[in-house]
Amino acid sequence: MKTIRWGMIGCGNVTEVKSGPGFQKAQGSQLTAVMRRDAALAEDYARRHDVPKWYSDAETLINDRKVDAVYIATPPDSHCSYSLAAARAGKPVYVEKPMALDTRQCQEIIDACQSAGVPLFVAYYRRALPRFLKAKELVTGGVIGALRFVEVLLTEPLQVHPVDQLPWRLHPEISGGGLFVDLASHTLDFLDFVLGPVCEVRGFTHNQTGAYPVDDIVSAAFQFENGIQGVGTWCFNSFESVDRITFVGSKGRVALSTFGGEPVLLETPEGRQFFDLPNPAHIQQPLIQQIVDELRGLGRCVSTGESAMRTTRVMEQLLNAKKLS
């Protein structure tokens, strides 16, 4: 059966270990070409990762006849334009999260891929990781009884950067909304995977420190279509680092972190159990394998443009929430 030959746009840190090698190691997959605007850096990446071709122009990579599918690993402000270009070329699209800057762009990408008849996937790779699959199994399998609510808490100490050296994630016009969008998107997508779509969300946002031009705290209350409720706080100016998701049911709770590697906790009246399921060396590889399998007609991928747009919609509604005067 045909090997899927990938072209990758963007060669930043996320591709060094998390994703790039996964395209080489997934069965039926090969990373054939990479692109970065800095030609020397593109060539260096290709050499270090045994990639045959490198480019400094995205259109050239997209139109390479030996590239079957395109992975877009650039900051969010260029996700839409590159996705549309890949769709026009008739190439399946795998785009980093968040899918785009807003729901309008998400819908534009979805429409373009549908019109071109090409699949669309988004890099919410926790949907394919063993630790998260175990948590989903425990939550939805009745082990903790009827699920009542979910709590999310993510706090980090403030990181101060010189104004002229702000990382791109702290520029809203590039990232779409700072650290909240970058980090909370993973958690919110996982909740969508476990509990289904959010039907209503309310919240508050604020820039408490003024250290950079995006809000550094977001608090939310949300309800899922199935009646389960949730609350969350994401604070990036706290004294400590906390990363916790807690699903609470009528007979127990399940707890895990979004970004840590500690075991999943199951707690019931009978006691505590821990499920230690380490992440793979290349954390995107299981989702990449799902994508490759779908492209080869062997399975289905669980992270789509439609599911990713739901996550963007929730974040967009929170960031647009009216603040009390």
The pLDDT profile of the chain, 325 residues, written as one tens digit per residue, is: 699 999 999 999 999 999 999 999 999 999 999 999 999 999 999 999 999 999 999 999 999 999 999 999 999 999 999 999 999 999 999 999 999 999 999 999 999 999 999 999 999 999 999 999 999 999 999 999 999 999 999 999 999 999 889 999 999 999 999 999 999 999 999 999 999 999 999 999 999 999 999 999 999 999 999 999 999 999 999 999 999 999 999 999 999 999 999 999 999 999 999 999 999 999 999 999 999 999 999 999 999 999 999 999 999 999 987 544 3
* Stretch(es) of the chain classified as CATH 3.40.50.720: 4-124+283-301
Residue 164 pLDDT: 87
Return the amino acid letter for 61: L
Spell out the residues 6+ positions from residue 156 whose beta carbon is closer than 8 angstroms to its own. Answer: 179, 235, 236, 238, 241
* Stretch(es) of the chain classified as CATH 3.30.360.10: 130-278
Distance (Å, rounded) from C-alpha 256 to C-alpha 10?
31
Which letter, b or e, does each residue of 254-276 get, where b requires 16 or more Cβ atoms within 10 Å of its Cβ? Answer: bbbbbeeeebbbbbeeeeeeebe
CATH 3.30.360.10 fits 130-278, yes or no: yes
Q: Is 112 helix (H, G, I), strand (E, B) or coil?
A: helix
CATH 3.50.50.60 fits 4-124+283-301, yes or no: no
Residue 1 pLDDT: 62
* Per-position DSSP letters for 162-202, written without gaps between them: -GGG--GGG-HHHHSSHHIIIIIHHHHHHHHHHH--EEEEE
